[in-house]
Structure 1
Amino acid sequence: MKLDVRDREGKKVKSIKVDEQVFGLKPHRAVVHQAMLAQRANQHRGTHKTKTRGEVRGSTAKLYRQRGTGRARQGASRAPHRRGGGVVFGPR
């Protein structure tokens, strides 16, 4: 099978030979649609951002003393495992 290669004005520049088994097939609409969606999704530039524990507002002081309270030991309030703390591997 031969296909024409054209320039921007639509003039035929050359003719190339292509494989009939690849380019001779009837296009499958669902596959073309999935390929188009994948291409558009890859071109999308996301705008999401999360704050790390260094960017979250709050004190770096220890919440309460390490021993003697009967509660589990805790560090800063901005730690990732705390509510309102920073995100570890979030989007930048």
Structure 2
Amino acid sequence: MSWTVKINQKVLKKLKKFQPVITINFAKLIDDLTQEGPLISHWSHFGKLKNGSNLYHCHINGNPLIIALWLVINDEDKMMEVTDVVTHQEFDKKY
């Protein structure tokens, strides 16, 4: 069974500011999240944030390097939300 992946509106707005390669790679990420769920260890620098939440992240290759973050909302119903896309500098400040 596939996962439902919601994309936060601020993420969609931010994606418009990045190069097209970022948007293409983001679409691939969404496809993998939908098919495989939140644990996509084959993506670059995939990991769970250490703050104890159900928040995961990975790198999206491009210039600049972008980090996507998603939250498992309901494991049983297989629902998650992509909550943010940030540059590496923003990630270090926010997370």
TM-score interval, normalised by the smaller of the two chains: under 0.3
Is the helix fraction higher in 1 or 2?
2
* Greater share of residues in strand: 2
TM-score normalised by the chain length of structure 2: 0.19
Larger RCO, structures 1/2 (Cα 8 Å, 6+ apart): 2
When the two structures are superposed, what TM-score results if normalisation uses the length of structure 1? 0.19
Structure number with bigger Rg: 1
